[in-house]
Amino acid sequence: MSDPGKLDLNELAQKSFKQGKYSDYVHFVHIYVIEPHPMSPDISPYRGEVWEQQYSSKPQPKTYPERVANAADMLPNLQGDQLMLVDDLTPGQRINPLWCTYGPCPNCAYLIGTDGMIKTVQTWANPNDLETAIDDLLQ
């Protein structure tokens, strides 16, 4: 962690479950969707052109098994009790149904209540603000 006092998602998940703060109420679920910055020559879905970044290490998956493999590569980065799901990429089916339904951003965070209603939406996950939103929801 580079910024004291600033959580990352792993730290929030670990803190939540190690301290028992949310363990009975909150589930951390990641959904692997698209590569926002795939390796060249693949096109970024956000710019319609190659848009590599220093972390662009994978091409855009063209098949569901490729997407599953990319998601599996991410699993070692998750710490604590977190789940990884993979958005669909089956030709002839609904491609990217979660990404298309909830917003085309791979770094969004949603806090969903037990009633199924979305309580908080972050277009860029901010674990500190998410922790506050969870605390507010559980009060």
Q: How many CA atoms lie within 13 A of 74 on its CB side?
A: 21
Asked if residue 55 is part of any domain, the answer here is: no
As given in the structure block, the two tokens for residue 47 are 């710019």
Q: What's the CATH number where 29 sits?
A: 3.40.30
Q: pLDDT value at position 111?
A: 92
The total of structural domains in the chain comes to 1
Asked if residue 118 is part of any domain, the answer here is: yes
Asked if residue 54 is part of any domain, the answer here is: no
Residues in the chain: 139
Mean pLDDT of 91-113: 85
Asked if residue 114 is part of any domain, the answer here is: yes
Classify 127 as helix, strand or coil. Answer: helix
Asked if residue 50 is part of any domain, the answer here is: no
Q: Rounded to 5 degrees, what angle do the CA atoms 115, 117, 122 make?
A: 140
Distances (CA, A) of 108 to 24, 62, 65, 66, 103: 23, 22, 23, 22, 8
For 40-71, write each residue's pLDDT tens digit. Answer: 999 998 889 999 999 889 999 999 999 999 99
Predicted model pTM: 0.82
Q: Which residue range is the domain that position 83 belongs to?
A: 9-35+62-138
For 10-27, write each residue's pLDDT tens digit. Answer: 888 887 777 777 877 888
